[in-house]
């Protein structure tokens, strides 16, 4: 491992922030899945909690790269972590007062977390080339991928322990605090401005890049097939559910 890379404060802060944010999102999704399983006893719903994040990722990933290229990278990752903290804290308050989260609200939370994670990942990927030297870029990306993969591996274990010991409310509070701490650590990252950020780019150019992202989805048969499966499969599964689980407090 390149010692110089490990001594790069900006890079290490980026990796730490990326690790905490993605770990937090994955832990939260798994904890919510366990909560749904305990609430409904439905293995189908448990599996759907883990699968529902696929659709936002398929639809938004081709467009998320535009977000990372066009907007201030440091501000983006800080704001997205703060948004995650606020959203999760809001759901914690809702759970505290209502004593239960309905399936509909849980699905909404999972989708919101997945959307912010997609754009966060895009911004993080755009940050690294700006803070490491060219000859370190491959190693920097490899280390970041390894750390994130480790977090994804550990998320179900940590999530199960937190949920088993403390329950959903404390899990939400812990996760909200972790996102807030991640945002604070990212404030200390120094990201050099790119040429595109120094020169204001036109709205026309931004729209063009977004259209190209949608065009990629339109022209990709595998992506269209997966979206179609999700659109037709999920509603059919919902029809089989007892509406009291989805819409009402239990």
Other CB atoms within 10 A of residue 201 CB: 12
Number of domains in the chain: 1
What percentage of the chain carries pLDDT values higher than 90?
A: 17
Other CB atoms within 10 A of residue 219 CB: 9
CA distances from 139 to 73, 144, 145, 236 (A): 21, 9, 10, 45
- Phi/psi for 8 (5° steps) reads -75, 105
CB-based burial, 60-87: b 16+ in 10 Å, e otherwise: bbbbbbbbbbbbebbebbbbbbbbbbeb
Whether the per-residue pLDDT at 206 is higher than 60: the answer is: no
d(CA 154, CA 15): 16
Looking at 36-40, 60-64, 89-93, which range is the least confident one?
Answer: 60-64
Q: Express the helix, strand and coil content of the chain in percent, nearest 5 each.
A: 85, 0, 15
d(CA 202, CA 85): 32
Q: Which helix (H) or strand (E) holds 126?
A: helix 103-131
Q: What is the CA radius of gyration of the chain?
A: 19
- What is the average pLDDT across 64-83? 79
d(CA 34, CA 149): 21
Can you say how many angstroms the Cα of residue 41 is from the centroid of all Cα atoms in its chain? 27
- Residue 249 token pair: 């407090």
- What is the average pLDDT across 42-58? 71
pLDDT tens-digit readout, 156-193 = 899 999 999 999 999 999 999 989 988 998 888 887 76
- What is the average pLDDT across 62-71? 67
Which carries the bigger pLDDT value, residue 79 or residue 59?
A: 79
What pLDDT, on the 0 to 100 scale, is given for residue 244? 41
CATH, residue 76:
1.20.1250.20
Confidence of residue 90 (pLDDT cuts 50, 70, 90): very high
What pLDDT, on the 0 to 100 scale, is given for residue 118? 84
Whether the per-residue pLDDT at 95 is higher than 60: the answer is: yes
What pLDDT, on the 0 to 100 scale, is given for residue 87? 94
Confidence of residue 218 (pLDDT cuts 50, 70, 90): low
Kindly report the average pLDDT of the chain as a whole number: 77
Residue whose entry in the numeric block shows the structure tokens 């290229």: 69
**Owning domain of residue 145:** 3-247
d(CA 108, CA 96): 18
Whether the per-residue pLDDT at 155 is higher than 60: the answer is: yes
**Are 100 and 146 contacting, i.e. CB atoms less than 8 angstroms apart?**
no
pTM: 0.77
pLDDT tens-digit readout, 142-154 = 888 888 888 888 9
What pLDDT, on the 0 to 100 scale, is given for residue 209? 57
């Amino acid at each position: 491992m390149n010692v110089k890379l490990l001594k790069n404060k900006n890079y290490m802060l980026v990796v730490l922030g990326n690790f905490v944010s993605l770990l937090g999102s994955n832990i939260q999704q798994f904890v919510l899945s366990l909560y749904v399983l305990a609430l409904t006893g439905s293995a189908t719903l448990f599996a759907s909690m883990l699968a529902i994040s696929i659709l936002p990722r398929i639809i938004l990933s081709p467009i998320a790269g535009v977000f990372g290229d066009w907007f201030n990278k440091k501000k983006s990752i800080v704001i997205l972590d703060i948004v995650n903290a606020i959203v999760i804290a809001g759901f914690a308050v809702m759970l505290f007062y209502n004593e239960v989260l309905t399936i509909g609200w849980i699905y909404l939370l999972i989708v919101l977390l997945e959307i912010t994670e997609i754009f966060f990942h895009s911004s993080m990927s755009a940050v690294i080339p700006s803070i490491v030297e060219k000859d370190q870029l491959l190693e920097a990306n490899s280390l970041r991928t390894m750390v994130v993969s480790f977090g994804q591996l550990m998320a179900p274990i940590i999530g199960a322990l937190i949920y088993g010991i403390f329950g959903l409310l404390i899990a939400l509070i812990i996760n909200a605090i972790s996102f807030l701490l991640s945002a604070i650590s990212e404030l200390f990252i120094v990201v050099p401005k790119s040429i595109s950020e120094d020169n204001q780019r036109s709205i026309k150019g931004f729209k063009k890049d977004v259209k190209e992202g949608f065009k990629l989805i339109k022209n990709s048969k595998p992506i269209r097939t997966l979206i179609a499966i999700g659109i037709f499969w999920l509603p059919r599964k919902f029809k089989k559910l007892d509406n009291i689980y989805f819409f009402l407090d239990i």
